[in-house]
Chains A and B, each alone.
Chain A
């Protein structure tokens, strides 16, 4: 990926140049990555040494985690509730990431051979391409190493504070190996819960978003619609949608339907607001230009108003996403008898803290993936925007 090196500066520009020269790259054909290489400031020997230390650091800490887990004694009053012993799952888990890091370090090390020529051939393109790949990996590793290290240090500290010393009150803070094992042993019901939560989220979010789009465009487009929509938005908007939960629990014939309504309501408000603002802010000239080509009213709405206000619409959809995630969990914790929110509550009732934490982590992962998908779509749709999409 050409953009991976946008912030890195740790390259020896002179050495890099020889590679670029041998690739016979002309200035007009430079890729973004190659341009950054040329523009980068040369590094001192000490700077390079620090870089290599940083590249190795996450690997070192990950090995320390394994060493601590395997060889340091567990804390004295170590009495697991279900008599389970610490397993090797944690070792495999950390080991997996350590192996990936090791591979990346090796690939990065390969770039040190850049001045060695394969069989004396200066222009062996395969060799040069391999060196370039290695340099890219090296830069990426250098860029990500500090945050990896921080995460591993946190994991190290957590394991130390729970299983090894019991500094965090037990059994409320299960050690990581127990959480991993809980995920594995309860995987069927966890998977079902994820699925149920996702379906509820998707139906609620899309219906709320769609409704918000319709009312927002109507209110932005016609003054009559705005006359009716505006007071509703003004009065109902600031009330968190979860306020209605107790009423919904009583009135709704199905809890699923009630929760869909709850989530949809939470999404509807911001999407309506931003869409309306977006449509009202479209420069008149956009519509006038379209009209001089003979565009129909439907085309003015669907081909001009909606795309023109799409940055605003996405702003509302982003706000709606976080509201929807909150509403989902509240609904599941309060009433719906399925899904991740319900699962957490249920396990809390049984004092199964490892399973609770397992669910928390899975919620994090799920929402992270949902949001990643959402930003991916947003970036694609809004790629015409000047200055890109944040």
Chain B
């Protein structure tokens, strides 16, 4: 387990100080998880189950209280351009144009030299050629998230961590972007870890789904998705997996009514 792009979470504990009550809050308890290089893994769970915290620890934005995280066999001690992170709200810098945002990422990671020519190609692939010189506030929500995504991919990370990247978008834009994420992943072959509260999204995108339970956050179930891409949202296998996941999340009895969860 020392290949580039592998992730190994070993007995991770993460506790936060609670400033309101003066106590502490255990967000993640004794969590272990292994992701193979090039794998697409989704983590689903209700809000407050610590899934975002897990992702932030993997990214190096938070330090584990106990336990450790290894990426490519190396312990995570801080952020690294090898592990990209896409947030729910776009984090494009509003004072930079789309192109400049991407160049910022490349400069910061010291990977500009070889990739300068690729910037416009990448923008073109995301269908943003016309908006390369636009500022983020001039783009639609979907375009912003798309730009955010390609900015993170521009530095060619081994691992791309996606923290509900499509959560704030309308369902049509979301479906379009889901296809794009699959395309980009298949092109590049990097490891993907997606956090979502959308069971459909998890089934549509990932090869393996990790179900987490809240307070304290821990893994309750790991479900394999043995379907080939592109997937059919209406197939019986798809529906079956959905029900299985919803059962794991204790929402099974409400499946019929809450189809559009």
| Chain A interface mostly | helix
Among A288, A294, A384, the residue within 8 A (CB) of B109 is: A294
A318 CB within 8 Å of chain B: no
A310 CB within 8 Å of chain B: yes
Measured between beta carbons, the chain A residues less than 8 angstroms from B178 are: none
B80 touches A384 (CB 8 A): no
A294 touches B91 (CB 8 A): no
Measured between beta carbons, the chain B residues less than 8 angstroms from A296 are: 108
A255 CB within 8 Å of chain B: no
A285 touches B108 (CB 8 A): no
Interface residues on A, range: 20 to 34
What 1/0 mask marks residues of chain A from 270 to 305 whose CB sits below 8 Å from any chain B CB? Answer: 000000000000000110111111111001000110
Report the Cα distance A365→B129, complex, angstroms: 45
Interface residues on B, range: 20 to 34
Measured between beta carbons, the chain A residues less than 8 angstroms from B109 are: 293-294
B94 CB within 8 Å of chain A: yes
Chain B, range 1-40, C-beta contacts under 8 Å to A = none
Report the Cα distance A294→B108, complex, angstroms: 6
A308 CB within 8 Å of chain B: yes
Among A286, A293, A299, A310, the residue within 8 A (CB) of B155 is: A293
B85 CB within 8 Å of chain A: yes
Measured between beta carbons, the chain B residues less than 8 angstroms from A307 are: 93, 95-96
The chain B residue sitting closest to A293, CB to CB, is B108
Report the Cα distance A304→B108, complex, angstroms: 11
Give the interface centre of A293, A295, A384, A386 by most chain B CB atoms within 10 Å: A293
Q: Could you pull out 27 A-B pairs where Cβ atoms are within 8 angstroms?
A: A285-B87, A286-B93, A288-B85, A288-B91, A289-B91, A290-B104, A291-B79, A292-B59, A292-B60, A292-B81, A292-B84, A293-B108, A293-B155, A294-B80, A294-B110, A295-B108, A299-B108, A307-B93, A307-B96, A308-B93, A308-B94, A308-B95, A384-B96, A384-B97, A384-B137, A385-B137, A386-B137
| Given A291-B79, A292-B84, A294-B79, 11 additional A-B pairs, CB 8 A | A288-B91, A289-B87, A292-B81, A292-B85, A293-B109, A294-B81, A294-B109, A303-B104, A308-B93, A383-B135, A385-B94
**What residues make up the interface of B, taking CB atoms closer than 8 Å to A?**
59-61, 78-81, 83-85, 87, 89, 91, 93-97, 104-105, 108-110, 135, 137, 152, 155
